[in-house]
Amino acid sequence: MSLRHRLGLLAAALVLATPALGQIPITPSRPDPNDPDAVLVEELVVTGRLPGPAWWTVSNGTTTVYVLGAPSLAPKHMAWDRAIFDRRLAGASVVILPVQDVRVTFTGAFGAAFNYMRLRSGGPFEEVLDPATRSRFVAARTALGQPAKHYPTRNPLAAGLILDADYHTKFGLTTADPTKLIKLLAQRAKVPVSQRSYDIGPLMGAILRTPESAGRNCFGEVLQLVESGPGGTQAAARAWAVGDVRGALANERTYERCIALVPGALTFDARMKSDLVNDLQNALTRPGHAIAVVPLRTLLAQGGVLDQLRSKGFKVTTPGKDE
């Protein structure tokens, strides 16, 4: 695997992946101030009544965008009822997708490569752990089929991201579905696709500047996730597929609590939300209808995509009331 590819995978994990622990209230009584999506707009958390996953709508009175709230982590190639999607895809002006593509610009490639090599220097990581944590980590990586040398870093956040990626691989979990399938279906139907790509070179260096305590907390959460197994993610995916929004949100703790402590991550998160809002606004200027796919927490949080669109005067309709 090329260095560029490994850079992309690590950065994709930084931007999109690192799930935290399951069984967390969807709106905690004491929200983490570092979590940009900790508090949800409760009236938007509604169980769908149509077949398949839940849909929200955004309208300006003449144009409608049908918004599918997507899981941020799910089993690869999971089955879901596409009848509503297929009907709405027909005649859509555009399909707006969340970021899936990450890149390193030419000007940032050397800095990103240098930071990557710094992250991958030292180790094995278990040598810097206390005996109890080392024992847990060795058991976890062994269960995932990985040797000690697979974690050649002394950076706990980097070690957590690598462990998280190994966990996804072992249990067939992905951040790409169902977005990947939806993109393919849109292309087959010759419907234009709008999907942004971001330069992640600066974020590579940001991992190095993350406080040690935050990195260790992140590593600890990923370690506990690996120990718990994929059952929570699988159950949440099943809930998502039948429109059970609260059930799907039970596993929707992606990078927020953990990655938000990386310098610049909150700014990057706000930028991605703003870009999605702008993309939906642009779609509303076209006649007819469009489709958008947005991660559930990003969609439903206070200050999230739907909350921002409501504040701009657009009509937002919850699942089950859109037909």
What are the b/e assignments for 49-63, b being 16+ CB within 10 Å?
eeebbbbbbbbeeeb
Q: How far is 183 from 94, CA to CA, in rounded Å? A: 11
- For position 120, what pLDDT does the model report? 61
H or E element in which residue 13 lies: helix 3-16
Strands 193-199 and 95-103: parallel
Write the CA distances from 222 to 161, 169, 257, 303, integer angstroms: 8, 14, 12, 27
H or E element in which residue 110 lies: helix 106-119
Q: What is the pTM of this model?
A: 0.84
**Which of residues 317 and 31 earns the better pLDDT score?**
317
33 — alpha (psi -120 to 50), left (phi > 0) or beta? alpha
Whether a cis peptide bond, with omega within 30° of 0, leads into 53 is no
- For position 68, what pLDDT does the model report? 97
- In tens, the pLDDT along 271-297 reads 889 999 999 999 999 999 999 999 999
